[in-house]
């Protein structure tokens, strides 16, 4: 009987195109439903008829839905998708289920670079900001990887320690920039540290969506090479994988996703940890499915986390990073305990 | 009769920093030939496998696969010719047995690696050789060490290679599966012309399986030839620094190495 229960948790034996499409359509449907539902939920009740009604572009309901809520909900979706997809590929590349763009300091690296160009005078909505965030993320992910690597392997716990150091350094760098910045600029800097969603223009949401989709497509092409990397670097190489090229491609794609997300929402933690991990338990570790599923699942997760952040305190709002950290912190400790336990049993 | 070698090592040498771990290894492997590599711990066996598999670049000499320098091969093409089962193969994340075995098909598929029915059929057949085909839906972390090792062996066979490199493939296998592996290697060598290099500590399994044996001592070849020629008590006792006798299997006439534990104990007591 116990056997039967564990048999049920077993994912399908291998990935077929049919299963891939089926799961993604299901998640896509859930995402659309979540976007619609989240748009209708908020401190002010919405009368659907008035919001959508006829040619009226002028009712308050219409304005709340289309000018305030929908762009923010969409932005949450894009940011969540980017962070979760980046988490999924980083976990596979590092062979470490505890990897997350925020924990590894990659988000912080993006934030530092973004803050620097902002304070240097860049327009907050210019492509300079995501560009700088991308470069910051790329530099950090490479530094973390090289810092935790000895003898062709990356130690799973060393990589988290290097991430801690990167986060501490980045926090200090942001404080430094903050001290130099003018009073009005300092207000903007705070938002990068908090990790919050706000209402942005459709143009900006669209631009981030383009970066995110490009990043996803780029990474998906390397999904099977990342699967083979589960056999270790030499194992993957003997199966025909160009490990070095795959690694560089993943650094690039993950940095693109993280840079895009951080440039519009600051440092939102744990999305890239929770979403791929839960989905891996349900769907199995094959990244050809897990990567796009994390993209959609991350969008669903952050949309609902932000709905909670918008509504839980009544009329005042929480930064969504607070919600994800309250959910993700205990989850991380649970995962860490589990990985330590598995490590002891193996010995 | 001149047989074209499928894998050649020419004056192969390797060093970690200044420490030389392998030198002067020259050997050629014909299609269908099984070469055993034996030697004490630290004699360079695993390093030799890594060099032959193209996983490390030699300091001296060259490896040739199908007459071409190994390091000049495109990786995917190389993986269609050459499969490696490393010592202590490992796998992160809870892939299923079928997924792992299908990874062996990767060099034959597009870079996205979607397997077709013929790949699944082939992989199931190979899993059957190792008696793990009933485990296809199980996750790797649910298996015993021996079952896992057999899946890794099946993954290498699923590559349909012309050359197979095995480093301690029997480490987790029970007696029955050691024998099965030995028979399977002989069959695939004879039927498919598969060339095999196998590093093994079990000298008798090597004698039963291999056409020729390379003896390594201190990173250098001490002998190379058929087991009946190489297995001399004096040579093996010196190389392994352990008292042993070589007898002959009455059934096959092949050499059998018998370690002399009692003699070793007595010697130690006398000292």
Judged by a CB distance cut-off of 8 A, whether residue A239 touches chain B is yes
pLDDT of residue B152: 96
Residues B222 and B243 in one domain: no
Judged by a CB distance cut-off of 8 A, whether residue B102 touches chain A is yes
Question: Can you tell me the mean pLDDT for B251-259?
Answer: 88
Percent of chain B residues past pLDDT 90, beyond the cut: 83
Using a CB-CB cut-off of 8 Å, the residues of chain B touching A95 are 92-93
Using a CB-CB cut-off of 8 Å, the residues of chain B touching A15 are 99, 114
Give residues 63 to 92 of B whose Cβ lies within 8 Å of A.
75-80, 82-84, 86, 89-92
pLDDT of residue A4: 41
Residues B98 and B112 in one domain: yes
Is B16 within the bounds of a domain? yes
Judged by a CB distance cut-off of 8 A, whether residue A17 touches chain B is yes
pLDDT of residue B51: 96
Question: Can you tell me the mean pLDDT for B118-143?
Answer: 94
Give chain A's count of helices (H) and strands (E).
Answer: 16, 2
Give A39: exposed, middle or buried? Use CB within 10 Å, 0-12, 13-18, 19+: buried
| CATH number of the structural domain spanning residue A80 | 1.10.3470.10
Greatest Cα pair distance in chain A: 70
Give the residue from chain A lying closest to B110, CA to CA. A224
Contact B54 A237 (CB under 8 A): yes
The torsion angle over the Cα atoms of residues A293, A299, A300 and A303, rounded to 10 degrees, is 170
* 3-class secondary-structure state, position A345: helix
Q: How far apart are CA A287 and CA A236, in angstroms?
A: 15
ipTM: 0.90
Residues B113 and B65 in one domain: yes
Other Cβ atoms less than 10 A from the Cβ of A242: the count is 15
Using a CB-CB cut-off of 8 Å, the residues of chain B touching A282 are none
Strand order in the sheet with B7-16: B19-29, B7-16, B60-65, B68-69
Residues B151 and B255 in one domain: no
Could you list the residue range(s) of the whole structural domain that residue A150 is in?
A: 71-339
Contact B96 A221 (CB under 8 A): no
pLDDT tens digits, one per residue of B170-223: 989 999 999 999 999 999 999 999 999 999 999 999 999 999 999 999 999 999
Judged by a CB distance cut-off of 8 A, whether residue B58 touches chain A is no
Contact B79 A232 (CB under 8 A): no
Is B154 within the bounds of a domain? yes
Question: Can you tell me the mean pLDDT for B132-147?
Answer: 93
Judged by a CB distance cut-off of 8 A, whether residue A240 touches chain B is yes
CA neighbor of B34 nearest in space, from B168, B208, B179: B208
Contact B50 A234 (CB under 8 A): yes
The answer to whether the beta carbons of residues B203 and B38 sit under 8 Å apart is yes
Is B69 within the bounds of a domain? yes
Contact B75 A242 (CB under 8 A): yes
H or E element, residue B245: strand B244-248
Terminal CA-to-CA distance of chain B, rounded, Å?
54
Our CA angle for A268, A269, A275, nearest 5°, is: 110
DSSP for residue A42: S
pLDDT in tens, chain A (347 residues): 344 444 444 446 889 888 999 999 999 999 999 999 999 998 888 877 777 765 555 788 888 888 889 999 999 999 999 999 999 999 999 888 888 999 899 999 999 999 898 888 877 777 888 899 999 999 999 988 888 887 666 777 788 888 889 889 988 998 888 888 877 777 777 777 778 888 888 998 999 999 999 999 999 999 999 999 999 888 999 999 999 899 999 999 999 999 999 999 989 999 999 999 999 999 999 999 999 999 999 999 999 999 999 998 877 888 899 999 999 989 988 888 887 776 544 33
The answer to whether the beta carbons of residues A238 and B79 sit under 8 Å apart is yes
Contact A242 B53 (CB under 8 A): no
* 3-class secondary-structure state, position A146: helix
Give the residue from chain A lying closest to B138, CA to CA. A10
Per the listing, tokens 């009329």 go with A315
Is A286 within the bounds of a domain? yes
Is A2 within the bounds of a domain? no
Residues B193 and B261 in one domain: no
Could you list the residue range(s) of the whole structural domain that residue B252 is in?
A: 231-271
Percent of chain B residues past pLDDT 70, beyond the cut: 96
The answer to whether the beta carbons of residues A271 and A299 sit under 8 Å apart is no
The partner residue sitting opposite B111, judged by closest CB among A10, A221, A286, is A221
| Residues with Cβ within 8 Å of residue A262, at least 6 apart in sequence | A107, A110, A111, A114, A133, A137, A192
Is A53 within the bounds of a domain? no
Phi, psi of B14 (to 5 degrees): -150, 150
pLDDT of residue A13: 81
Token pair for residue A169?
A: 């350094």
Using a CB-CB cut-off of 8 Å, the residues of chain A touching B137 are 7, 10, 12-13
Using a CB-CB cut-off of 8 Å, the residues of chain B touching A240 are 75-80, 106-107
Judged by a CB distance cut-off of 8 A, whether residue A8 touches chain B is no
Mutate to test the interface with A, among B113, B119, B153 (most CBs of A within 10 A): B113
Judged by a CB distance cut-off of 8 A, whether residue B172 touches chain A is no
Is A60 within the bounds of a domain? no
Contact B159 A239 (CB under 8 A): yes
Other Cβ atoms less than 10 A from the Cβ of A329: the count is 13
Q: CA of A276, closest CA in chain B: separation in Å? A: 12
Contact B103 A231 (CB under 8 A): yes
Using a CB-CB cut-off of 8 Å, the residues of chain A touching B95 are 227, 230, 284-286
What CA–CA distances, in Å, run from A220 to A134, B52, B267?
Answer: 19, 32, 64
The partner residue sitting opposite A230, judged by closest CB among B91, B96, B114, is B91
The answer to whether the beta carbons of residues A118 and A124 sit under 8 Å apart is yes
Per the listing, tokens 């990767």 go with B106
The answer to whether the beta carbons of residues A208 and A78 sit under 8 Å apart is yes
pLDDT above 70 for B144: yes
Q: How far apart are CA B49 and CA A212, in angstroms?
A: 43
pLDDT of residue A345: 42
Residues B195 and B241 in one domain: no
- Number of domains into which chain B is organized: 2
Contact B106 A95 (CB under 8 A): no
Mutate to test the interface with B, among A7, A14, A284 (most CBs of B within 10 A): A14
Q: How far apart are CA A13 and CA B68, in angstroms?
A: 38
CA neighbor of B205 nearest in space, from B224, B186, B233: B186
Mutate to test the interface with B, among A155, A220, A237, A239 (most CBs of B within 10 A): A239
What CA–CA distances, in Å, run from A47 to A2, A40, A59, B11?
Answer: 50, 9, 10, 83
Residues B52 and B26 in one domain: yes
Residues B219 and B262 in one domain: no
Residues B153 and B111 in one domain: yes
| Residues with Cβ within 8 Å of residue B241, at least 6 apart in sequence | B40
Judged by a CB distance cut-off of 8 A, whether residue A152 touches chain B is no
Mutate to test the interface with A, among B17, B101, B106, B165 (most CBs of A within 10 A): B106
Token pair for residue A63?
A: 């304005």
Residues B141 and B235 in one domain: no
Residues B117 and B237 in one domain: no
| Residues with Cβ within 8 Å of residue B97, at least 6 apart in sequence | A13, B127, B132, B135, B136, B137, B138, B139, B140, B143, B151
Is A290 within the bounds of a domain? yes
Is B1 within the bounds of a domain? no
Contact B90 A231 (CB under 8 A): yes
Instruction: Note the Cα A96 to chain centre separation in Å.
Output: 16
Is A138 within the bounds of a domain? yes
Q: Characterize A51-62 residue by residue with b for buried, 16 or more Cβ atoms within 10 angstroms of its Cβ, and e for exposed.
A: beeeeeeebebb
pTM of the full predicted structure? 0.90
Is B175 within the bounds of a domain? yes
Residues B253 and B124 in one domain: no
Using a CB-CB cut-off of 8 Å, the residues of chain B touching A228 are 103, 106, 113
Judged by a CB distance cut-off of 8 A, whether residue A242 touches chain B is yes
- Number of domains into which chain A is organized: 1
Token pair for residue A14?
A: 């291998």
């Amino acid at each position: 009987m116990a056997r039967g229960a564990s048999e049920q948790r077993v994912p399908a034996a291998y990935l077929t195109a049919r299963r891939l499409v089926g799961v993604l359509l299901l998640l896509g449907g859930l995402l659309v439903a979540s976007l619609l539902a989240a748009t209708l939920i908020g401190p002010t009740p919405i009368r659907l008829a008035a919001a959508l009604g006829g040619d009226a572009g002028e009712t308050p309901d219409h304005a709340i839905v289309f000018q305030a809520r929908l762009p923010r909900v969409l932005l949450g979706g894009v940011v969540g998708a980017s962070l979760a997809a980046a988490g999924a590929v980083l976990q596979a590349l590092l062979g470490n289920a505890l990897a997350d763009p925020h924990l590894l300091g990659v988000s912080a690296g993006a934030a530092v670079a973004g803050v620097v160009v902002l304070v240097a005078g860049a327009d907050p909505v210019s492509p300079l900001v995501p560009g700088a965030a991308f470069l910051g993320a790329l530099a950090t992910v490479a530094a973390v990887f090289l810092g935790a690597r000895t003898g062709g392997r990356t130690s799973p716990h060393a990589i988290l320690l290097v991430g801690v150091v990167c986060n501490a350094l980045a926090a200090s760098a942001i404080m430094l920039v903050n001290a130099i910045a003018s009073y009005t600029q300092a207000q903007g800097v705070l938002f990068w540290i908090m990790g919050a969603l706000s209402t942005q223009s459709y143009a900006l949401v669209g631009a981030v969506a383009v970066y995110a989709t490009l990043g996803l497509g780029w990474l998906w092409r390397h999904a099977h090479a990342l699967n083979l990397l589960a056999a270790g670097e030499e194992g993957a190489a003997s199966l025909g994988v160009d490990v070095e090229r795959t690694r560089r491609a993943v650094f690039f794609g993950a940095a693109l996703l993280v840079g895009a997300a951080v440039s519009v929402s600051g440092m939102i933690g744990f999305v890239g940890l929770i979403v791929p991990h839960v989905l891996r338990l349900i769907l199995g570790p094959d990244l050809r499915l897990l990567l796009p599923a994390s993209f959609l699942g991350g969008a669903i997760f952050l949309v609902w986390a932000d709905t909670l952040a918008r509504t839980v305190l009544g009329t005042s709002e929480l930064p969504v990073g607070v919600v994800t950290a309250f959910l993700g912190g205990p989850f991380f400790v649970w995962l860490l305990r589990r990985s330590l336990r598995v490590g002891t049993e193996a010995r | 009769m001149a047989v074209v070698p499928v894998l050649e090592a020419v004056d192969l040498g390797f060093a970690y920093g200044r420490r030389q771990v392998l030198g002067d290894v020259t050997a050629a492997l014909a299609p269908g030939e099984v070469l055993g590599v034996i030697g004490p711990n630290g004699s360079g066996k695993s390093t030799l496998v890594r060099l032959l598999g193209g996983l490390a670049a030699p300091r001296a000499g060259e490896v040739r696969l199908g007459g071409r320098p190994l390091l000049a091969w495109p990786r995917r093409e190389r993986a269609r010719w050459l499969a490696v089962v490393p010592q202590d193969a490992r796998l992160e994340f809870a892939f299923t047995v079928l997924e792992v075995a299908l990874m062996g098909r990767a060099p034959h598929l597009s870079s996205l690696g979607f397997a077709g029915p013929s790949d699944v059929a082939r992989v199931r057949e190979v899993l059957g050789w190792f008696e793990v085909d009933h485990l296809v839906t199980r996750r790797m972390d649910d298996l015993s060490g021996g079952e896992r090792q057999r899946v890794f062996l099946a993954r290498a066979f699923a590559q349909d290679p012309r050359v197979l490199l095995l480093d301690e493939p029997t480490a987790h296998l029970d007696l029955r599966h050691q024998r099965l592996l030995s028979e399977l290697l002989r069959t695939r060598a004879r039927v498919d012309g598969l060339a095999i290099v196998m590093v093994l500590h079990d000298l008798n399994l090597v004698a039963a399986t291999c056409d020729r044996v390379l003896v390594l001592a201190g990173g250098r070849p001490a002998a190379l030839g058929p087991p009946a020629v190489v297995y001399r008590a004096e040579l093996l006792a010196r190389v392994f620094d352990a008292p042993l006798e070589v007898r002959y299997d009455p059934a096959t006439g092949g050499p059998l190495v018998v370690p002399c534990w009692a003699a070793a104990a007595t010697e130690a007591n006398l000292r």
